[in-house]
Chains A and B, each alone.
Chain A
Amino acid sequence: MQSETMPSDDDDAQTQDKLTQAQLTAIENEIKSSQPLTSQLLPISALLHQYSTTAANEQQQSAGFIQSAQFLSTKYTSLRRVRGDGNCYYRAFLYSLCEHLLLRNSNNNETGGSKEFSRIKTTIANSLKWVCQFGYEEMTIDMFYEELVELFDFIETSLSAADNNDKSASTAAGAAEDESNRNNAQQQLHAKLNEENSTSDYCTWYLRVLTAAQMKSNPDRFLPFLLADETNMMMDIPTFCSREVEPMGKECGMVTVAALAECLGVKVVIEYMDGRLSNNDNDAAVGGIGIGRSGEVVNHVFGQIHDENDEDRDRICLTLLYRPGHYDILY
């Protein structure tokens, strides 16, 4: 009695499910084909341009964004867009961190650079054993770990090439060669981090694991920040991590931003641009996160160390732009 008439309306349910799935896939493909993982460097004016060219009926809504964009144009020179696939915070963090390490070190004037590089490289090199303490199986994560270690090896190789060059860089020709080597390394890094289903995705996921492990390692610090879910029950940290941190494509919130910054001991400055208008100074007093004085955009700093001994450390500082649901890199 193999009843083929058995399903009554489950084919409908199936069709609906397929439809939403198909729509989601279509959106994902659209994003994939139209946005690179990380864009070329754009002038900061691109930000203002985006809002000032919106249709007239949306002008009202974008007024706050225009005001913020104008403010940011005076503070920054460039912008790098990151693909809006839910991984943008981690991807922006990864790209910006690598770029800072690469450029800082090849610049002789900043002496703290190589110390900072070794510190972060060591933290990463030691991280596999550390994350495995929090319930991750080495078998499933080591490929991702190795990818990040290899990326740091790549940066180190580029740096030591630049270093050798420095020794002969007393002449004008040497300096020019140094400059061209640096550009070359930067282009290679850009290409590497733009390959689909490759370095950027693998390292991005490993950053998620580091973030989750950081939260699990210090529940007293992070648990109070977890918002209640729809059932009004506090989520515990492992549940939060398995729902919101470990899956690819899940956006990063304030808690996770803080956890990743603290895990690697990196400072992250985030400019919050939420589109609210502020017309006079009084707004600042009542304003929320994104409102500062006369159109200023408020920023928040994560990963600040309160340890006195660390004061003199020349720490990496990443600067990111937040707009509702999305992060990009600022310069």
Chain B
Amino acid sequence: MMRNNLGAAKRLRKELQCLEKAATNGDSDVDIFLRPTSPSSLLHWTALIKGPIDTPYEGGVFKLSIRCGSDYPLSPPTITFDTKVFHPNVHFSKGDVCLDILKKEWSPAWGLQAACRAVLALLSDPDAESPLNCDAGNMVRGGDKLAYWTTAEMYTFENAMFLGWPDEE
């Protein structure tokens, strides 16, 4: 019987085991490093993601903060960027992410790693129709690729070049 947040803990423990097993076998996702923020709680995780190539985020490492409620995985985790990023669907000062699979289209079939992969896909493929950062949204929507690219790249250089990639041994 699933009592309240036991379900969340059970599922998150499984996700952690999977990540650790992949690390041991050397087949971790090379673009995502994902672990609980502290050993004391499985409800709060930190992820590092590598800016995708051929985007203005290339070369950057971005830190994400992930919080799960006790009704995870029935409800989606909340993901925010801790690293400042200039992107139409990420709030510039607060780091909130606007992504359908983290809202109405979330399904328990997704896990935290899949959610991080979706954030990476969003970096490659911004959706200017539902902007949280209107400046970035207007640039993309208005077709001013160059302005968007150079601004985003500048913020990548300014904010996302300081985090080293963890050694998974």
Say whether A8 contacts B70, CB under 8 Å. Answer: no
Q: A202 vs B73: C-alpha distance in the bound complex, in angstroms?
A: 10
Residue A139 lies at the interface, judged by CB distance under 8 Å to chain B: yes
B interface size (C-beta, 8 A): 38
List residues of chain B with CB within 8 A of the CB of A4: 93
**A-contact 0/1 string along B71-98, CB 8 Å cutoff:** 1011100000000100000011110101
List residues of chain B with CB within 8 A of the CB of A14: 91, 94, 96, 132
Tell me if B29 counts as interface (CB < 8 A to partner A).
Answer: no
* Neighbouring B residues of A249 by C-beta, 8 Å: 104
Interface pair B71/A242, CB less than 8 Å apart: no
Q: How far is the CA of A1 from the CA of B158 in the complex (A)?
A: 8
The answer to whether B96 and A248 touch across the interface, beta carbons within 8 angstroms, is no
Q: Contact mask B126-149 → A, CB, 8 Å, 1/0?
A: 000001111101000000000000
> CB distance B4 to A10 under 8 Å?
no
Tell me which residues across on chain B come within 8 A of A93, comparing CB atoms.
none
| A220, chain B: closest CB distance, angstroms | 24
Interface-facing stretch out of B7-15, B48-56, B58-66: B7-15
Are B1 and A10 in contact, CB atoms less than 8 angstroms apart? no
CA distance A248 to B132 in the complex (A): 25
A10 touching B106 in the complex, CB below 8 Å, given contacts A1-B158, A4-B93, A197-B70: no
Asked if A198 and B2 make an inter-chain contact with CB atoms under 8 angstroms apart, the answer reads yes
Pairwise interchain contact A7-B92, C-beta atoms closer than 8 A: yes
A7 near B93 (CB under 8 angstroms)?
yes
Q: Give the contacts of A174-195 with B (CB-CB under 8 A).
A: 192, 195
In A191-249, the 8 Å CB interface with B consists of 192, 195-199, 201-202, 205, 209, 242-243, 246-249
Given A10-B91, A14-B96, check contact A136 B109 (CB 8 Å): yes
Please state if A143 and B134 are interface contacts (CB–CB under 8 Å): no
Contact of A242 among B84, B98, B105 (CB under 8 A): B105
| CB-defined contacts of B150 to chain A, threshold 8 Å | none
Could you list some 25 contacts between A and B, CB below 8 A?
A2-B84, A2-B158, A6-B135, A7-B91, A7-B133, A8-B135, A10-B91, A10-B132, A10-B134, A13-B132, A13-B134, A14-B96, A139-B15, A143-B2, A143-B10, A143-B11, A144-B108, A147-B2, A150-B1, A197-B4, A197-B70, A198-B1, A198-B2, A242-B105, A247-B104
Measured CB to CB, the residues of B under 8 A from A are 1-5, 7, 10-11, 14-15, 18, 70-71, 73-75, 84, 91-94, 96, 98, 104-111, 131-135, 137, 158
